Amino acid sequence: MKLDKRIQKDLKDLYNGGATPGVIKDALGLNGLIQTKTGQTSFATKALPGYYTGNRKAKTVMVMLNPGIDVNVANNNLICDILKASMVNAGDVKGYHKWCANYGHIDKSRQDNFDLKQAFFLHYWKNTDIALPKSLCAKPKSDSQTLLDAKEIVLTEKLQLELIPYASSSFSSFTKGKISLVFPFVETLFDEIFSQDRTYVIFCSRKFERVFKEYNKKHPGSIDFKGFFSQNIDGSKIKGSCTKICIHYNNKSLNAIIANTFPNQALPNAYYLMEEYGTFCYNVFNNIP
């Protein structure tokens, strides 16, 4: 299913004939995919889905697992989120796309380490079409306005996709026998990624390797694993790693990497370390010794 079709379907479920909130059936269908708190579904079923942010035609794509919000909090915030997004209601598809494209501008006054670390990860990548501030510096750290500007730019000028657009507080291990539930969402990702010419595609979690290996069993030859690479990150005890892959979809092929260490909890506040790790991944992507 194409991304636009998924969004329309989910928002129709949420609008529920005008009596918001309804239940997103595809989110409910993922129940049990990952373990969660007692009494909660695996993912939020009554919240705005977070399919993407930024420029859908961008040359640089970063793919995350899913929005990191507690299920109950997300389910209870629908009306508030619609108002913040300036959507008329949960069925406002046009307003939803406007919100996704402009999220970086809408959120420009809020410091967020997870979003900002994307800017430092990509800081020394060439030809990304992301015009980060020339004054951006991790060591010594840039002033707060420069950091906010970098966050706004990276959220607006790249494309960020989510494997699962429904919120959970964490993305725990896959429940045995359930991982195939993800495969239709993998194909939606691939369809969107291959809809434009891309320069860089980066999957930002080690869990993508597990997903792709299992997907390959059902669709042999879809993904070639080119190699696993690791390196100590200067100034820390962290060992960064990434996996280089080639994706084959609809008679097209595209190189990508899985940035295994990207979600490491030791990295979000350590901008210099994220720069180091990002440079390592860039070198792997481009076969630089």
**What whole-number percentage of the chain has pLDDT above 70?**
98
Query: What per-residue confidence (pLDDT) applies to 159?
Result: 98
**Residues found in the chain:** 289
Tokens of residue 255, six digits: 């190189």
Query: What per-residue confidence (pLDDT) applies to 268?
Result: 59
Residues 157/105, Cβ–Cβ less than 8 Å:
no
Report cis status (omega within 30 of 0) of the bond before 133. Answer: no
Answer whether residue 6 shows pLDDT above 70.
Answer: yes
When comparing pLDDT for 174 and 39, which is higher? 174
Write the single-letter amino acid at 164.
I
Using alpha carbons, select from 139, 128, 121, 154 the residue that is nearest to residue 277.
121
Per-residue pLDDT tens digits for 140-158: 999 999 999 999 999 999 9
Query: What per-residue confidence (pLDDT) applies to 254?
Result: 97
Per-residue pLDDT tens digits for 257-285: 999 999 886 665 689 999 999 999 999 99
Distance CA 263, CA 87 (A): 31
Per-residue pLDDT tens digits for 219-241: 999 999 999 999 998 878 889 99
Distance CA 46, CA 22 (A): 6
Query: What per-residue confidence (pLDDT) applies to 113?
Result: 87
Query: What per-residue confidence (pLDDT) applies to 177?
Result: 93
Query: What per-residue confidence (pLDDT) applies to 234?
Result: 82
Surface-to-core class of residue 206, CB atoms within 10 Å of its CB (0-12 exposed, 13-18 middle, 19+ buried):
middle
pTM: 0.95
Distance CA 245, CA 197 (A): 17
- Residue recorded with tokens 């940035």: 259
Q: Residue 235: left (phi > 0), alpha (psi -120 to 50), or beta?
A: left
Query: What per-residue confidence (pLDDT) applies to 269?
Result: 66
In what helix (H) or strand (E) does residue 240 lie, and over which residues does it extend?
strand 239-249
